[in-house]
């Protein structure tokens, strides 16, 4: 799971409601399958985006354009949360606490300071926690639904590995902005000529010097429109093939590319920036851990208490780490090896575990902490810097192929669930 990062100020702003009467906020604005979107939800998202744009020195789009983007975003979020509810997906407080701790660490502050900042900005701590919980849930739903649609053949991997090796393992990365002009018109009917005209108009506006992010917020039909169409840093191998082929021909920073036709509409790209090569060295960590998994007969609190008792026995020298790992750990692979996970790149671990092994001092036994797998204690035995060029090239190729296909499938999946949903706009 990718590390979840949430802007504190953005979340706070989503709870600022300006100039809307209470009775308007309570009314149902949209029926989405078996749930609803309230007018208050639309207004909070619009206010949040509008304030973020103003703080960034940008001019917000019209209310109608902003409302269209906000309603589409909320419809997709609502559909994903309904999927999670049907699947019984729950994010417990322990996992939520771990995620918030990582957010605080990313902001270089303790959790108490983060909490103080949230409340000072005017947002309740409970509201903030629930917003983070929803973000985690949606990330999990996306990962579960989209990952199953992705297949990477050995031939694809080998071909990409050969190409990377031909380039001496180096990879140029591009910071890309994206605008999608979908084929569907306001009536929900496909109208490719009209979409082409809209795409050409957007190109003209961009070439005249309009800010790409502002135009994306107003005009894009992509899921990341409210983020200004930001796709982040990607190599050519990590992009959808359509994008990679176009950028390979025009890779200068500042280039505007398009319109590019795909099965869902016309795409317009901007190369915001370009940066250098992939390194062949990395730091590996050798760690050992003990995992206790809660179950129907072992509650969360009891699992943590058991792990605290195990830690006490190790610290007091009553039993060795290896003995207790073999006796109690729910990770059979490492339990049979005294809890030893071997030399690993921390990037392979789930975010909470990764954060621990990256920051824990060597030969220091951690306090119990929670991941999606259960409760852990971990000890870092050693660190080393190694040349992993061959291994990294293969992993890099697989990750790039996955990332490329994930982005393509995610956008298609968003459109599929949107088209299949019952959506009724209330007057």
Instruction: Convert the pLDDT of each residue in 31-48 to its tens digit.
Output: 999 999 999 999 989 998
Q: Percent of the chain at pLDDT above 90?
A: 61
Find which of 69-78, 116-125, 394-403 is predicted with most confidence, using mean pLDDT.
69-78
Strand order in the sheet with 265-275: 230-235, 173-182, 265-275, 256-261
pTM value? Answer: 0.55
Region 408-425: mean pLDDT is 93
pLDDT at 388: 64
- Binned at pLDDT 50, 70 and 90, residue 10 comes out as very low
Instruction: Convert the pLDDT of each residue in 306-330 to its tens digit.
Output: 999 999 999 999 999 999 999 999 9
Mean pLDDT of the chain: 87
pLDDT at 171: 62
Find which of 2-16, 150-164, 273-287, 301-315 is predicted with most confidence, using mean pLDDT.
301-315
Report whether pLDDT(170) > 70. Answer: no
Sign of the dihedral defined by the CA atoms of residues 182, 184, 187, 188, in that order: negative
Higher per-residue pLDDT: 55 or 169: 55
Region 62-87: mean pLDDT is 94
pLDDT at 389: 63
Q: What is the CB neighbour count within 10 angstroms for residue 273?
A: 11
Report whether pLDDT(188) > 90. Answer: no
- Binned at pLDDT 50, 70 and 90, residue 195 comes out as very high
CA atoms within 13 A of residue 318's CA, in its CB half-sphere? 9
Report whether pLDDT(372) > 60. Answer: yes
Find which of 274-288, 380-394, 406-420 is predicted with most confidence, using mean pLDDT.
406-420
C-alpha–C-alpha distance, residues 6 and 227, integer Å:
13
Burial 221-248 (b: 16+ CB within 10 A, else e): bbbbbbbbbebeebbbbbbbeebbebbe
What are the structural domains of the chain?
Answer: 8-147 (1.10.4030.10), 169-278+392-425 (3.10.50.40), 281-387 (3.10.50.40)
Instruction: Convert the pLDDT of each residue in 242-266 to its tens digit.
Output: 999 999 888 788 889 999 999 889 9
Higher per-residue pLDDT: 166 or 76: 76
Report whether pLDDT(5) > 90. Answer: no
Region 96-120: mean pLDDT is 91
Phi-psi region of 374 (alpha: psi -120 to 50; beta: other; left: phi over 0): left
Report whether pLDDT(346) > 80. Answer: yes
pLDDT at 163: 79
C-alpha–C-alpha distance, residues 378 and 368, integer Å:
8
- Binned at pLDDT 50, 70 and 90, residue 7 comes out as very low
Phi/psi at 15 (nearest 5 deg)?
-105, 10
Q: Percent of the chain at pLDDT above 70?
A: 90
């Amino acid at each position: 799971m990718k590390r979840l990062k949430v802007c504190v100020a953005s979340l706070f702003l989503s709870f600022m409601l300006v100039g809307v009467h209470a009775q308007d906020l309570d009314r149902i604005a949209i029926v989405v399958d078996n749930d609803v979107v309230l007018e208050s939800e639309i207004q909070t998202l619009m206010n949040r985006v509008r304030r973020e744009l103003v703080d960034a020195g940008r001019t917000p789009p019209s209310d109608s354009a902003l409302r269209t983007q906000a309603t589409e975003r909320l419809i997709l979020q609502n559909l994903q949360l309904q999927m999670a509810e049907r699947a019984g997906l729950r994010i417990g407080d322990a996992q939520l606490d771990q995620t918030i701790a990582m957010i605080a660490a990313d902001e270089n502050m303790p959790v108490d300071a983060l909490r103080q900042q949230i409340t000072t900005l005017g947002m309740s701590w409970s509201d903030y926690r629930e917003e983070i919980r929803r973000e985690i849930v949606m990330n999990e739903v996306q990962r579960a639904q989209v990952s199953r649609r992705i297949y990477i053949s050995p031939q694809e991997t080998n071909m990409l590995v050969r190409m990377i090796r031909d380039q001496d393992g180096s990879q140029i990365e591009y910071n890309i902005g994206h605008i999608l002009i979908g084929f569907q018109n306001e009536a929900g009917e496909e109208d490719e000529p009209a979409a082409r005209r809209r795409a050409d108009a957007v190109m003209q506006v961009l070439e005249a010097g309009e800010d790409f992010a502002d135009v994306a917020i107003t005009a894009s039909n992509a899921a990341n429109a409210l983020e200004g169409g930001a796709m982040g840093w990607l190599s050519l191998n990590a992009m959808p093939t359509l994008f990679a082929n176009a950028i390979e021909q025009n890779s200068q920073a500042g280039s505007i590319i398009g319109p590019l036709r795909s099965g869902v509409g016309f795409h317009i790209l901007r190369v915001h920036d370009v940066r250098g090569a992939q390194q062949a060295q990395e730091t590996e960590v050798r760690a050992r851990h003990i995992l206790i998994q809660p179950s129907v007969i072992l509650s969360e609190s009891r699992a943590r208490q058991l792990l605290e008792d195990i830690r006490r026995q190790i610290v007091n020298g009553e039993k060795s780490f290896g003995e207790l790992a073999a006796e109690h750990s729910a990770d059979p692979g490492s339990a049979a090896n005294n809890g030893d996970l071997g030399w690993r790149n921390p990037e392979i671990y789930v975010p909470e575990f990764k954060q621990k092994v990256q920051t824990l001092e060597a030969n220091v036994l951690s306090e119990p902490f929670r991941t999606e797998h259960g409760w852990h204690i971990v000890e870092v035995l050693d660190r080393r810097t190694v040349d992993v060029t061959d291994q990294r090239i293969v992993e890099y190729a697989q990750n790039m192929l996955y990332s490329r296909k994930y982005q393509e499938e995610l956008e298609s999946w968003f459109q599929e669930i949107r088209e299949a949903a019952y959506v009724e706009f209330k007057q």
